[in-house]
Structure 1
């Protein structure tokens, strides 16, 4: 009896010991939360600049012309301003929101667009008879008036030809969303002969079908602002140019974020130097659609969990706008020792760029700000255009032009512009 009890006790002890050892040897899962934020301090203008004549002073005399180039997507507009030189405070500018650059069928507008240019009164000076004898800046308005179109005559009864008979504006298209505009002074020999001053120009981003800054230079029916008076009265572009430059930069949303927990030595969905694997990264990089890649990854060896994180308010993660916080998503993860985390999200206003973890991705034992693991890549599946101004960018209602190149890191500067540092666009933390 004693022997039987002893044998049973020993057997139970061995089982208990083995179970205890197995439990101690098993990797212990830990809970951490990954957070991805769009921390870009966005700007509403995709491009802006200045133009001037070649002489001294750099005015554009009758018979002379000036050209400059820019990029634009469908729905974006070109605006500019230049002084009617022989006036007290008049300026030429397209009627807001600016010159239409694409036809309704998506084809670029080319040729004469002079009919879209108007003559405007800045409302800050009493108008003299226009001509070479005008005194600058002369008498100020007792009470400044709102900006008003000069349509035939001004408030003082002085006559003016239509702007299109004084200024000829034409567009040419160079392909890949690139335009060149030429402004020619054709006022010579008319009753309103005048030089044009140096000028400023701008292109606004468009998001959700709306221009982010639809009236960057002036607003009809409102007081002049931001240095426009200096152009209208003196042809001085310094202040308004600085204002536009300060509002020019980068704007991009981030697509819903793909988060992958896996065990293994290599990122499960891409490798630099290799071409897109056809598993869904193309759809993420071109259109921000992570669903196809997420579905493919769920059946891959070593992949433990796959998540697609959407901003609850906007689906995409919008950047910071006027000081308001950008989009942010979080996900609680169950991690074991040796696990890794890979993420990917589209640079929304591109043809096929995506942010992704690099190197060994994010290790499960890391903690805090892990943004240093993120880089920006070109998927190599679509022809690149100016970020935020590409007519074939899917998120700007375009159809990407296909190409077939290896995945590479996006250089900075890139062929179009200079981007902020990665850490100033996307922040990733693991807590």
Structure 2
């Protein structure tokens, strides 16, 4: 990615996570053994695409006239589906929606269903001189050096084409819980533009702060073809573009302001695996990134020495690593005594109710060094899960969580939606 694109991510990824920054704490008697500094950093190597994949015909890689291919994906409000597939009987033409792709929710957040063919367009890759489309096209043909442009009725060589919507039918179906199926049917049979469609590539970009992290993942209008698109447009080979898209698909999530609790002589005061949410404020942290409710509840309780909520400067949330930009971090000086334990919790920002936290025994704050291995990822059990970063009811994607009541449990990896990096590659905890 270009540096200006990376800088753009940083600008737009300021999310509406709720937080309450405070450093109020209460001390209980104990033998002081000195001071430590705890640092929490988001070290995730973030990616701009939440999902991507390939598609092809039902019996052969080609999607022949009359045949269909399907794309199954998840999306949050404002996210869109982009795809490309070659007009096989051409030198370098391809079908795709205009950027950022096919919108799958209306302005009210209702899923869109039915015929969305009007959003499919025909494009000229600009790398080959167009011959008359048909079975007699000589591949690859004569080289050209133009930008990607839309074909409206005729190409630069005055070859004519029916509207893309007459050749490719796109139908959208909502499968529930932010999941969709797009069906692409080759309708070109018997027309002057009869053609097979090639195996294709599709992608969905993350949205943050109301803006897509990559609004043109597969091609850019009026710019040179790049990243393997030419292989699709000229030869129907989707492998190079798929490899590129896969390299920028993965995890993007901020971490909420971090709750830090020093306790002594009691069990972990935040949660217990196998029990349901205690109604003390963890739900607000896990669903909304708001640690203030739980912090207020814990302050002054028996066994609680200190409570902090650490927000990152300027952004409040801890942003992941974006290109050359390091991930955000927060630090806090703490006073510790013999027998003290340290509990930490922060929201997986692009989830329904997942949170990172120390385990049942917390962390020994007198043990210096990297304590990242002490962190786990847990499901609070208070909101129905969706694909992280692509859920219509995720609070930090302008949604309203759908309630459920399940025991707190570790999030499996891989899980029903995706495969996450190792937790130590997302959250780093160090004590000095």
Under TM normalisation by the shorter chain, which class is it? over 0.9
The match for 1:41 among 45, 49, 59 is 45
Contact kept? 1:168, 1:185, Cα under 8 Å: yes
Contact kept? 2:39, 2:329, Cα under 8 Å: yes
Residue 299 of structure 1, CA deviation: 2.7
Contact kept? 1:359, 1:373, Cα under 8 Å: no
Aligned residue in 2 for 1:295: 296
Secondary structure at the counterpart of residue 196 of structure 1: coil
Q: Distance in 1 between matches of 2:366 and 2:118?
A: 64
Residue 360 of structure 1, CA deviation: 1.2
Contact kept? 2:91, 2:233, Cα under 8 Å: yes
Q: Distance in 2 between matches of 1:122 and 1:28?
A: 70
Range that drifts further, 28-37 or 79-88? 28-37
Q: Distance in 2 between matches of 1:127 and 1:245?
A: 30
Counterpart mapping for 1:340-359 below 5 A? 340-359=341-360
Aligned residue in 2 for 1:427: 428
Contact kept? 2:205, 2:215, Cα under 8 Å: yes
Q: Deviations over 1:1-51 (max 9, x none)?
A: xxxxxxxxxxxxxxxxxxxxxxxx971341100000000001111110001
Contact kept? 2:266, 2:303, Cα under 8 Å: no
The match for 1:54 among 53, 58, 62 is 58
Q: Greater relative contact order (Cα 8 A, min sep 6): structure 1 or 2?
A: 2
Range that drifts further, 248-257 or 299-308? 299-308
Aligned residue in 2 for 1:20: none
Residue 70 of structure 1, CA deviation: 0.6
Q: Distance in 2 between matches of 1:297 and 1:235?
A: 60
Residue 55 of structure 1, CA deviation: 3.5
Q: Distance in 2 between matches of 1:173 and 1:264?
A: 51
Aligned residue in 2 for 1:205: 206
Moved over 4 A (4+): none
TM (normalized to structure 1)? 0.93
Structure 1 residues 123 and 302: alpha-carbon distance in aligned structure 2, compared to 1, 3 A threshold:
same
Structure 1 residues 26 and 412: alpha-carbon distance in aligned structure 2, compared to 1, 3 A threshold:
closer
Contact kept? 1:44, 1:249, Cα under 8 Å: yes
Q: Distance in 1 between matches of 2:125 and 2:74?
A: 29
Aligned residue in 2 for 1:398: 399
Counterpart mapping for 1:238-257 below 5 A? 238-257=239-258
Aligned residue in 2 for 1:13: none
Residue 322 of structure 1, CA deviation: 1.1
Q: Deviations over 1:212-260 (max 9, x none)?
A: 1110100001000001000000000110000000011111100000000
Residue 105 of structure 1, CA deviation: 1.0
Aligned residue in 2 for 1:91: 94
Structure 1 residues 134 and 407: alpha-carbon distance in aligned structure 2, compared to 1, 3 A threshold:
same
Unmatched segments (≥5 aa) in structure 2? 1-28
Aligned residue in 2 for 1:157: 158
Q: Distance in 2 between matches of 1:281 and 1:67?
A: 40
Matched, 1:129 2:148: no
Aligned residue in 2 for 1:319: 320
Aligned residue in 1 for 2:308: 307
Aligned residue in 1 for 2:237: 236
Matched, 1:217 2:218: yes
Contact kept? 1:265, 1:360, Cα under 8 Å: no
Aligned length: 404
Counterpart mapping for 1:69-84 below 5 A? 69-84=72-87
Matched, 1:31 2:28: no
Matched, 1:329 2:330: yes
Q: Distance in 2 between matches of 1:122 and 1:403?
A: 49
Contact kept? 2:30, 2:337, Cα under 8 Å: no
Contact kept? 2:58, 2:67, Cα under 8 Å: no
Secondary structure at the counterpart of residue 363 of structure 1: coil
Residue 404 of structure 1, CA deviation: 0.6
Matched, 1:377 2:378: yes
Residue 342 of structure 1, CA deviation: 0.5
Q: Deviations over 1:338-377 (max 9, x none)?
A: 1111010000000000000003101132110011110000
Secondary structure at the counterpart of residue 141 of structure 2: coil
TM (normalized to structure 2)? 0.92
Q: Distance in 2 between matches of 1:200 and 1:397?
A: 28
Aligned residue in 2 for 1:103: 106
Residue 131 of structure 1, CA deviation: 0.8
Larger radius of gyration: 1
Contact kept? 2:36, 2:366, Cα under 8 Å: no
Matched, 1:362 2:363: yes
Q: Distance in 2 between matches of 1:372 and 1:59?
A: 47
